């Protein structure tokens, strides 16, 4: 009996904190092929040349196992708020500010606060705009782009092109769909920023690197999204009240809503993704804290010693350094990691309890601001595999978690492309 293999029609590429991934899906949204290329060391996460090398590796590995000639569209997602400066040739100057790096210049932050329109998500030391202004002023900086934008350029997309999701924290006006005048007054030379399109929108025919790995000249580049939005789309969540918590290097909450909510004083913002809005925020706590304080090699061993039904109640707020974005927005917010239990498994439990409380407070904050009631909860990221943490979270949230269709952001980015293949204007 012959088994018909579905044709791949959409390609999603994810560049995250652990490496790069590439996913091909068919017209029904099912996975046809997947490949990954992890970073060789934590330092690579901050190096654009390593971003590109890992993306190229992932796509080349995918091409060896999956026929890419039927691909109709491709898009890229990247970490939200990560920006880099480019020289005149479109290559990195070497200066990068990551998604969780506060702007080094307080005067820039003050200038944005003075000029910004009410409710702007670009206010604060952790805004993408503050980082962009800072990088635009360094020697040799001809332009400033987001992480996903530059990867799209390296793939062969002509020009500097971004999407409304990545551009949101850089000050892009979603209603007017342009860079607002006030960001010039705040110190940003708008000519150094990329052209912005709606997430998923067709941009240009494929050329360059992707043609070399098998994509046809009929395929198109599409505007991408952030890793958080992509992770949401990958899970299958799609109705108001559906929520997705990403437990990766940081903790990111996204909740589907029929209307946007913006509250920069709490680090709350909204992304437009197709027919609904994703309301949410991102904490600086997460897997990066566990990795630094516990270590990956002992995590499983210590987890098995934890009894999630017995709460320690030490009121930890796990951060590696002062500064929080959501549900508390305070660049000086201090970590709370004491008193430290003598038992390492209890230390881990206290960390997990603290992160669980951050998640609970996050969804509570969204509800207080007018978001829909939480009706379902899906989880993505490495933390989703921790059964003890899952039990803690279900108890704290008062809702059972729903299995995600996929936990790969690359799948969600491919799904974004799929949703726009027959809709070029939205």
Is residue 4 assigned to a domain? Answer: no
Same domain membership, residue 45 and residue 17:
yes
246 vs 384: CA distance, rounded Å:
8
User: In CATH, what number is assigned to the domain containing residue 272?
Assistant: 3.30.420.40
Is residue 2 assigned to a domain? Answer: no
Q: Do 315 and 294 touch, CB atoms closer than 8 A?
A: no
Is residue 128 assigned to a domain? Answer: yes
Is residue 1 assigned to a domain? Answer: no
Tell me the residue range of the domain where 53 lies: 10-227+409-420
Same domain membership, residue 287 and residue 139:
no
Phi, psi of 357 (to 5 degrees): -70, -35
pTM, two decimal places: 0.83
Please state the rounded mean pLDDT for residues 221-225. 97
274-308 CB burial, b ≥16 within 10 A, e <16: bebbbbbbbbbbbbbbbeeebeeeebeebbeebeb
Per-residue model confidence as pLDDT tens digits over 355-411: 999 999 999 999 999 999 999 999 988 888 899 999 999 999 988 788 899 989 999
| Confidence at 104, pLDDT banded by 50, 70, 90 | very high
Same domain membership, residue 266 and residue 179:
no
Higher-confidence residue of 382 and 211: namely 211
Same domain membership, residue 294 and residue 328:
yes
Is residue 369 assigned to a domain? Answer: yes
Element (H, E) at 70: none
**Could you give the number of structural domains in the chain?**
2
Helix, strand, or coil (residue 365)? helix
Structure tokens at 222: 């599409």
Q: Do 81 and 127 touch, CB atoms closer than 8 A?
A: yes
Same domain membership, residue 214 and residue 275:
no
Is residue 295 assigned to a domain? Answer: yes
Please state the rounded mean pLDDT for residues 181-202. 97
Count the Cβ atoms, other than its own, within 10 Å of residue 313: 8
How big is the CA angle at 168 (ends 139 and 322), to the nearest 5 degrees?
Answer: 70
Structure tokens at 76: 């890229």
Is residue 425 assigned to a domain? Answer: no
Same domain membership, residue 212 and residue 87:
yes
Same domain membership, residue 259 and residue 192:
no
């Amino acid at each position: 009996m012959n088994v018909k293999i579905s044709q791949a029609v959409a390609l999603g590429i994810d560049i995250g904190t652990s490496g790069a991934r590439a996913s091909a899906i068919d017209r029904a949204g099912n996975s046809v092929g997947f490949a990954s290329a992890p970073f060789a060391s934590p330092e690579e996460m901050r190096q654009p040349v390593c971003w590109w090398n890992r993306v190229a590796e992932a796509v080349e590995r995918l091409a060896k196992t999956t026929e890419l000639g039927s691909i109709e569209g491709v898009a890229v997602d990247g970490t939200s708020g990560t920006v880099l400066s480019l020289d005149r040739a479109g290559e990195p100057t070497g200066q990068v500010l990551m998604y969780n790096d506060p702007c080094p210049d307080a005067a820039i932050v003050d200038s944005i606060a003075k000029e910004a329109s009410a409710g702007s998500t670009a206010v604060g030391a952790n805004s993408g705009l503050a980082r962009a202004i800072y990088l635009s002023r360094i020697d040799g900086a001809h332009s400033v782009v987001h992480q996903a934008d530059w990867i799209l350029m390296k793939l062969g997309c002509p020009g500097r092109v971004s999407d409304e999701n990545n551009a949101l924290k850089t000050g892009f006006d979603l209603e007017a769909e342009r860079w607002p005048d006030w960001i010039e007054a705040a110190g940003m030379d708008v000519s150094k920023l990329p052209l912005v399109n709606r997430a998923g929108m067709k941009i240009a025919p494929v050329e360059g690197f992707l043609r070399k790995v098998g994509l046809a000249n009929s395929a198109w580049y599409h505007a991408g999204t952030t890793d958080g939005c992509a992770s949401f789309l990958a899970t299958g969540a799609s109705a108001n009240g559906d929520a997705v918590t990403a437990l990766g290097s940081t903790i990111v909450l996204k909740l589907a809503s029929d209307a946007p909510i913006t509250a920069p004083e709490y680090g709350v913002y909204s992304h437009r993704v197709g027919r609904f809005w994703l309301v949410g925020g991102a904490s600086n706590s997460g897997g990066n804290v566990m990795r630094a304080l516990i270590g990956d090699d002992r995590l499983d061993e210590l987890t098995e010693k934890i009894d999630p039904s017995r709460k320690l109640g030490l009121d930890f707020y796990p951060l590696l350094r002062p500064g929080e974005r959501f549900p508390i927005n305070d660049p000086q917010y201090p970590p709370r990691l004491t008193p430290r239990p003598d038992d390492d498994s209890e230390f881990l439990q206290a960390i997990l309890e603290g992160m669980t409380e951050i998640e609970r407070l996050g969804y509570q904050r969204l509800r207080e601001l007018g978001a829909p009631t939480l009706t379902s909860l899906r989880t993505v990221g490495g933390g989703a595999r921790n059964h003890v943490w899952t039990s803690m979270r279900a108890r704290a949230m008062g809702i059972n978690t729903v299995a995600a269709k996929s936990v790969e952001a690359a799948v969600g980015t491919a799904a974004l492309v799929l949703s726009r293949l027959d809709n070029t204007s939205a």
